[in-house]
Structure 1
Amino acid sequence: MSSFQVKKVAVLGAGVMGAQIAAHLVNCRVPVVLFDLPARDGPKNGIVSKAIEGLKKLKPAPLGVVEDAALIQQANYEEHMDVLKECDLIIEAIAERMDWKTDLYHKIAPFVAEGAIVASNTSGLSITTLSEALPDSLKPRFCGIHFFNPPRYMALVELINTPTTEAAVLDDLEAFVTTALGKGVIRAHDTPNFIANRVGIAGMLATIHEADAFGLTYDVVDDLTGKKLGRASSGTFRTADVVGLDTMAHVIKTLQDNLGPVGSGKVEDPFSGIYGTPPVLARLLEAKSLGQKTGAGFYKKVGRDILRLDPESMDYVAGGAKADEVVGRMLKKPAGERLSLLRHAEGAEPRFLWAVLRDQFHYAAVHLASIAETARDIDFAMRWGFGAKQGPFELWQEAGWLQVANWIREDIEAGKALSTAPLPDWVFSGPVAEAGGVHTPEGSWSASGQKFIARRKLPVYARQHFPEDVLGANAPAFETAGTTLHEDDAIRLWTLDGANGEAGDVLIASIKTKMHAISPDVAEGLALGVELAEKGYKGLVIWSNHEMFSAGADLQSMLPAFMMGGAAMIEGVEAELQKVMLKLRYAAVPVVSAIRGLALGGGCEMAVYSARRVAAMESYIGLVEVGVGLVPGAGGLAYIARRAAENAAKSSNKDLLPFLLEGFTAAAMATVGTSALESRKLGYLLDSDVVVPNKDELLFVALNEARALHASGYRPPLRRLFPVAGRNGVATIKGQLVNMRDGGFISAHDFHIASLIAGVVCGGDVDAGTLVTEEYLMTLERKAFCALLEHPKTQERIMGMMSTGKPVRN
């Protein structure tokens, strides 16, 4: 196993990408020093200081918590070059100028530590050419590392080697980027714009071309090429605005400078004809309309209205047009039927979509051999770098490989395609045709190697029990893996068997309901899980391999009971749910919640009542019941009161109220932690909990946390009484709420709900310091919850949320 460790990273260049890469390193608790040129005026670190201040204002936020900006060490090339000697990884992220980059390499070379890796975050320049500026001793430890913007949120990182890069260097870097930074890594050949931008930007240019050919407006195109097509919701033109039209133009120029037709003296590319800068883009660039950053691009926001550009007049006109509903219905059909309908339809919109898909299939197949090791790399690049649910090869394969291939060939021969280049021979004959596609359980197709190649088996990937994989790979499915002890429509209780077939030693509970909502059946299943775990396992892990942990209690499942017996019927349901939460807390074995995505309302309560939480970095945790006119009803407020008492007990200040206010405010304002780090600040995660950068490692870490707790002699907390703030605390909080209500900051119903929350977290009408139990507070919680259920304003909020998915403010 490699001994390579990254104890500190240097990022060279405090521009948009460099600063955000530094921010993500800080999020992942990797020490980082950010370099830039010395400022001409004022402090020498002025350029870096300004960039770090800018991080605090960016949206989406590059930092998990804004205060962590202070953890980025500041440096400049004049005073701090010796700091580079402390760094195991140096990431160069200055402007895309070959001469500037090579000049910087000459300067840093004497200061690079022995064994350190140097990597360029270029988006398309030749890594091999860049390496030539380095001394021979550094060339084996140099490569390309291409983060996608914004680095915190985009999963993709491309690694690019040179002929002199040592294989072990790429392996070490892939392991670090995967597990420490939480990224999906693909390895790209050293070709212009690598894989994702090569295929993605070509696809955007093709879309612009086809939109013009079919006479479609930008808003309709974005509606067609967004979620309806299984791609990022921003579609094509909105994505260009968000990325920046200058950035897009730069990537296009890299294609123009390096690729051309036969005889051009450039690398031959049969699609080079589409690499010209679209006239409308050229005019926007000339007008300095660069998209979101300048307030205008293909779209412009005026007040609350989003206007679209009219390319003929270059004026902004009313936008918001949608695609034909018939096309939307076509896109919901199975893949084969869907593509057939699009190809053979009469209307402009479906024929446009077929053209866009055909162009991408055609482009990916023709270029596979030169830009990527396997088809899997192209599909992952489009998923992780451009937000597609499927890569082009996956969709092609799902729709019927040879049928789609023949359609593409017919269009090429009819002159409908963007290039006359034929599909490669391997498409129609040999292993791919026989297998029905490029992805098989054996591996994915390598056009350059003319064989199927399995995924790279680095030790870091042993931490991913159910990694994301491509269609056709027949990767293990968690729904059927291991040994099932109990399963119904709501939950599965199972163990992950060992490599040699031995039964797992930790029980896993996977919720199956829509959005993993906590219904009475789920609660019953969790209770059973605790009982089974206590009888013969080292712990219980609550985990589901989907985009969310739990969106909260299943209100819809409660409606029949409410209609039959009113709030009295619901009180019994809530009491059972509260008992389950206490059962999780006081289980004889550790219960570990493995959180990813949303953990809201009851999901948050399920997490805080566990012995330990293991959370993916992008976890969004909070008590949000106020949004539907309710208070947390499964122990969330009891948790806030207990935590305040525990924190006060550790302080010399015995006044409970200061320790209570943050938890009260978070519940009353339905505040959600927008990262695992922010959720820790709000008290939903503790310092002892684990934040995991890579979502696919969540189960591995959670199982090992349960085992470690068991091995250390885990005992559940003892049930004890704790003090509450009492009626004085309620009065103090309500005094502040009155000011907010009278100032118009909250509605009368918000005031009513917040007052009820205050009453519960302060323990009701009792003296300050009165000792209470969790069960006592849960009783107050239930009464407040059920009283609100019968309130007309709350019923309006519940029905509004269920019908529109958006909170009603009344």
Structure 2
Amino acid sequence: MTNFIVKKVAVLGAGVMGAQIAAHCINAKVPVILFDLPAKEGPKNGIVLRAIENLKKLNPAPLGNKDDAALIEVANYEDNLELLAGCDLIIEAIAERMDWKHDLYKKVAPHIAPNAIFASNTSGLSITALSEGFDSELKARYCGVHFFNPPRYMHLVELIPTVATRPEIIDQLEGFLTTTLGKGVVRAKDTPNFIANRVGVFGMLATIYQAQQFGLSVDVVDDLTGKKLGRASSGTFRTADVVGLDTMGHVIKTMQDNLADDPFFAVYKTPEVLAKLVAAGALGQKAGAGFYKKVGKEIQRLDFATAQYVTGGAKADDVVARMLKEKDPVKKMKTLRESTNVQAQFLWAIFRDAFHYIAVHSASIADNARDIDFAMRWGFGWNVGPFETWQAAGWQEVAGWVKADIDAGKALCNAPLPAWVFDGQVAENKGVHTPQGSWSAATGTFVPRSTLAVYDRQAFRATVFGTGVATGATAGTTFFEDDSVRIWHQNDDVLILSLKTKMHVLGPGVIDGMEKAVAEAEKNFKGLVIWSADAAEGGAFSAGADLQAMLPLFMSGGVKAIEPAIVRLQQAHQGLKYANVPVVAAVSGLALGGGCELMMHAAKRVASIESYIGLVEVGVGLIPAGGGLKEAAVRAAKDAKGTDLLQFLKNYFTNAATAAVSKSALEAQKMGYLSADDVIVFNAYELLHVAKVEARAMFDAGYRAPMKAPVPVAGRYGMATITAQLVNMRDGGFISAHDYKLGAMIAEIVSGGEIENGAIVNEQWLLDLERKAFMELLNHPKTQERIMGMMQTGKPVRN
């Protein structure tokens, strides 16, 4: 196999999607050129330059590090087409008009390098029709590559080959998208709107239709179809507003124009309410009004009956909210279907419509049922795919209910469920997902997972309900397990410590686990990796110290009773730092407070791009006391190498005193929480693999624990200089007196306390300062208010 290395990408079109795809390439260190039309006035590349400026303002941020916007090369179609010759991958991302795309293709085709891949980021136009007019050579290198918005954060990319596309091109692109850009790739057939938008937009149309049938308001529907169903918190109507009602109208029109013989065709008519909003220019969030409208601080909702905006915020009925909390999916579906509550009937109706639709269309739109489930999970933010939901709720029984509704004329159309739903292999296996693979209605077989080499990097791939595959929580060989941790290995030479507490908070059990894991790794393994089983599914690395676990200690023995627990945490972290085998922290999601400190003490960090890292203790009126401030002083001394220590300290001090949290691993590097040689991984499913490779490499290169080196500190001079800034902030009313106290304590610790500038201390001296300040604060009524507030509301109290 030859290496497929994308040395440079060109993105054609600097609109919302094009600019953000370019930004994500830059995140991944892939050089990129962003093209657009020459501007009519001002600098010729004005359109692209404005788009790049806009990237810095967007939220959520498309760039992991805003300064990297400068790395995007700018170009226009008039002067710079020869630059295309140096690109290995060209992604076209202009407006969804076949004629415009064809005009652009005529211009660029002569400049495309002979081995480059040419792809369109269309959200629904036919890839085959788009490739008409190419010579056979270019046709073989052309395909669809459909990113979801926002491209940095949405895991899904649909890859759409045509009959003419060379298979190895698609394999190479899948590898690049998976590892370099961190995506979940689903291969789609060349049908209108592909998989996710076809099923997802049908689902939105069916939901809008049923909401009107059952007389439910938009806010109630969004509450019912959001988090409570395990879907994106924006629900249905809010999602439409975010996507843009004009964009949604466009996707619906693609279905109307191309699916006249679809039994569900009647559902594709543009809902009257949507058409009226678009005509009035109420295009959703970007226009300030859609199904919702922000009036001052109030979010108002559209009333279907009067077409006026009224006060919103209504929620699902308590009885239905309770039904949705039911853990057993079989019971849950049965209860919804049998309930007389109108909201429950509405939910059964939208489930039935979705099951009916995917059964009828599975053969024509996707290779297998798994691809439909992944498309909805990764592209629409569902926790569970539609086929998985059906199978978990009892395949045969649900199929019977859907059939009964179709026969009774309650369904959206009278197309029968296909025969495979009821007989043969699917019925025998009680569903479409089995250990052998997932059902392909087109070929009548169960299709196994892709065996491309890129998936060897994923020890635990995204799981599918019903396949019975071992996960990171159950696989391998367990050395020790309790409620807090699992210490295990994959029958090789690297030990793994997985945290099991809620949000992976650090309590006594986790500290015990760390000590046990280090001792076992030193005895029998090449290294220790700290990685938890939900790392790729949006779990936290660790949200910090377990405040709940401290309460009983505090109640029974007061502040003094907590001190030994702090000593143990500090020593456990030191144990990681000075372990005789390398400890690698595999970081993904939140690494806050004690979680950030834990990570800082590893020999190396392998972090997912989506890592949100920071010392946030001031939010609960405390200061970091698990060695985080000690590490700040040690790192500043190392960075300064004998020059002015203070300028290096300020960065660490400011981050801790303001509880700043990185918005990406790239930003965490800039903040000093990750070092320059820590590894940033784009696909969280590859974290464990990369962390183990790093641990092994360090051991094989002759790893030795760091020497306990003396630490020069800034002393009184550092404290005074930093505290002077805090005085101005307090006197100007920017921070409270308690914030000032916390800031001054942090300044004292990172500066090494009341000693001479340049004095030499050891790490234990700094740890003692941390612990002393922490204990003093625990006794402080203002800190106690903050802790109780956080535990009751989950939000920081500013006092």
- Corresponding residue number in structure 2 for 1:380: 374
- Corresponding residue number in structure 1 for 2:533: 545
- Is structure 2 residue 790 aligned with structure 1 residue 798? no
1:493–1:508 contact (8 Å) kept in structure 2: yes
Code of the residue aligned with 1:740 in structure 2: it is M
From 330, 336, 344, give the equivalent of 2:323.
330
- Displacement of 1:3 in angstroms is 2.8
Q: Summarize deviations over 1:608-665 as a string: whole Å, max 9, x none.
A: 1101000011011111111111000100101111111111117xxx221111111111
Within a 5 Å distance, the mapping from 1:253-402 to structure 2 comes to 253-260=253-260, 268-333=261-326, 334-402=328-396
CA distance in structure 2 between the aligned counterparts of 1:246 and 1:558, rounded to whole angstroms: 53
SS at match of 1:40: coil
CA distance in structure 1 between the aligned counterparts of 2:588 and 2:490, rounded to whole angstroms: 19
SS at match of 1:17: helix
- Corresponding residue number in structure 2 for 1:604: 596
2:471–2:533 contact (8 Å) kept in structure 1: no
- Corresponding residue number in structure 2 for 1:742: 731
1:401–1:437 contact (8 Å) kept in structure 2: yes
- Displacement of 1:255 in angstroms is 0.5
- Displacement of 1:792 in angstroms is 0.9
- Corresponding residue number in structure 2 for 1:528: 516
- Corresponding residue number in structure 1 for 2:468: 474
- Displacement of 1:528 in angstroms is 1.5
- Displacement of 1:312 in angstroms is 2.5
Within a 5 Å distance, the mapping from 1:39-438 to structure 2 comes to 39-260=39-260, 268-333=261-326, 334-438=328-432
SS at match of 1:289: coil
Within a 5 Å distance, the mapping from 1:589-668 to structure 2 comes to 589-649=581-641, 654-668=643-657
- Is structure 2 residue 688 aligned with structure 1 residue 688? no
SS at match of 1:751: helix
From 497, 504, 528, give the equivalent of 1:509.
497
- Displacement of 1:466 in angstroms is 0.6
CA distance in structure 2 between the aligned counterparts of 1:752 and 1:407, rounded to whole angstroms: 64
Q: Summarize deviations over 1:735-781 as a string: whole Å, max 9, x none.
A: 11111112111111111111111111111111111111111111000
SS at match of 1:549: coil
- Is structure 2 residue 566 aligned with structure 1 residue 574? yes
- Displacement of 1:698 in angstroms is 0.2
Code of the residue aligned with 1:467 in structure 2: it is R
Code of the residue aligned with 2:300 in structure 1: it is L
CA distance in structure 2 between the aligned counterparts of 1:437 and 1:537, rounded to whole angstroms: 42
SS at match of 1:468: coil
Unaligned runs of 5+ in 1: 261-267, 498-503
CA distance in structure 2 between the aligned counterparts of 1:536 and 1:663, rounded to whole angstroms: 37
| Aligned alpha-carbon RMSD (Å) | 0.9
- Corresponding residue number in structure 2 for 1:461: 455
Structure 1-normalised TM-score? 0.97
CA distance in structure 2 between the aligned counterparts of 1:195 and 1:487, rounded to whole angstroms: 41
Unaligned runs of 5+ in 2: none
1:13–1:34 contact (8 Å) kept in structure 2: yes
CA distance in structure 2 between the aligned counterparts of 1:646 and 1:719, rounded to whole angstroms: 13
Code of the residue aligned with 1:309 in structure 2: it is L
Q: Summarize deviations over 1:488-538 as a string: whole Å, max 9, x none.
A: 2211111112xxxxxx10111111111111112211211121111111211
Q: Summarize deviations over 1:549-605 as a string: whole Å, max 9, x none.
A: 111111111111122222222111111111111111111111000001111111100
2:540–2:588 contact (8 Å) kept in structure 1: yes
1:543–1:593 contact (8 Å) kept in structure 2: yes
Code of the residue aligned with 1:743 in structure 2: it is G
From 703, 728, 738, give the equivalent of 2:717.
728
SS at match of 1:61: coil
CA distance in structure 2 between the aligned counterparts of 1:611 and 1:748, rounded to whole angstroms: 38
SS at match of 2:152: coil
- Corresponding residue number in structure 2 for 1:501: none
Of 510-519 and 216-225, deviating more is: 510-519
Code of the residue aligned with 2:157 in structure 1: it is V
Of 333-342 and 677-686, deviating more is: 333-342
CA distance in structure 2 between the aligned counterparts of 1:482 and 1:290, rounded to whole angstroms: 51
CA distance in structure 1 between the aligned counterparts of 2:392 and 2:36, rounded to whole angstroms: 48
Structure 2-normalised TM-score? 0.98
CA distance in structure 2 between the aligned counterparts of 1:493 and 1:657, rounded to whole angstroms: 41
Code of the residue aligned with 2:177 in structure 1: it is V
- Is structure 2 residue 6 aligned with structure 1 residue 6? yes
Q: Summarize deviations over 1:158-182 as a string: whole Å, max 9, x none.
A: 0001110011111111111011111
CA distance in structure 1 between the aligned counterparts of 2:776 and 2:295, rounded to whole angstroms: 43
2:463–2:471 contact (8 Å) kept in structure 1: no
Code of the residue aligned with 2:502 in structure 1: it is K
SS at match of 1:672: coil
SS at match of 2:348: helix
CA distance in structure 2 between the aligned counterparts of 1:231 and 1:479, rounded to whole angstroms: 23
- Displacement of 1:311 in angstroms is 2.2
Of 684-693 and 109-118, deviating more is: 109-118
- Corresponding residue number in structure 2 for 1:444: 438
CA distance in structure 2 between the aligned counterparts of 1:721 and 1:400, rounded to whole angstroms: 64
1:187–1:377 contact (8 Å) kept in structure 2: yes
CA distance in structure 1 between the aligned counterparts of 2:295 and 2:666, rounded to whole angstroms: 35
1:109–1:135 contact (8 Å) kept in structure 2: no
1:541–1:591 contact (8 Å) kept in structure 2: yes
Of 170-179 and 563-572, deviating more is: 563-572
SS at match of 1:548: coil
Within a 5 Å distance, the mapping from 1:13-24 to structure 2 comes to 13-24=13-24
CA distance in structure 2 between the aligned counterparts of 1:67 and 1:303, rounded to whole angstroms: 33
- Count of aligned positions: 794
2:217–2:304 contact (8 Å) kept in structure 1: no
| Misfit runs of 4+, over 4 Å | none
- Displacement of 1:331 in angstroms is 0.9
CA distance in structure 2 between the aligned counterparts of 1:218 and 1:237, rounded to whole angstroms: 6
CA distance in structure 1 between the aligned counterparts of 2:587 and 2:543, rounded to whole angstroms: 11
2:183–2:683 contact (8 Å) kept in structure 1: yes
Code of the residue aligned with 1:731 in structure 2: it is A
2:369–2:439 contact (8 Å) kept in structure 1: yes
Code of the residue aligned with 2:123 in structure 1: it is S
1:571–1:783 contact (8 Å) kept in structure 2: no
CA distance in structure 2 between the aligned counterparts of 1:483 and 1:218, rounded to whole angstroms: 50
Code of the residue aligned with 1:160 in structure 2: it is I
SS at match of 2:60: coil
SS at match of 1:550: coil
SS at match of 1:331: helix
Code of the residue aligned with 1:294 in structure 2: it is A
From 578, 603, 622, give the equivalent of 1:586.
578
